[in-house]
């Protein structure tokens, strides 16, 4: 599933750990967003990351 992630955390280490966990690309747009392909089995974990306030999942 392709999702757009908005980074609410400014901590680079936290961002890198999330990117490594979900195999996201290491680029961010000027608007603070990253588009990534997330496996269906990883979506519940990504929703937990959103619930903890590190990211926002945007529907585009």
pLDDT for the residue numbered 22: 97
Q: Tell how far CA 47 is from the center of its chain.
A: 10
Reported pTM: 0.90
Q: Which domain holds residue 52?
A: 2-58
State the total domains in the chain: 1
The position carrying tokens 């529907």 is 59
- Check residue 60 and give its pLDDT: 76
Per-residue model confidence as pLDDT tens digits over 1-58: 999 999 999 999 999 999 999 999 999 999 999 999 999 999 999 999 999 999 999 9
pLDDT at 29: 95
């Amino acid at each position: 599933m392709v999702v757009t992630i908005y980074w609410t955390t400014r901590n680079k280490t936290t961002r890198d750990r999330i990117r490594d966990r979900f195999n996201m690309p290491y680029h961010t747009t000027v608007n603070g967003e990253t588009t990534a392909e997330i496996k269906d089995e990883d979506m519940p974990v990504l929703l937990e990351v959103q619930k903890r306030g590190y990211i926002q999942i945007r529907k585009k």
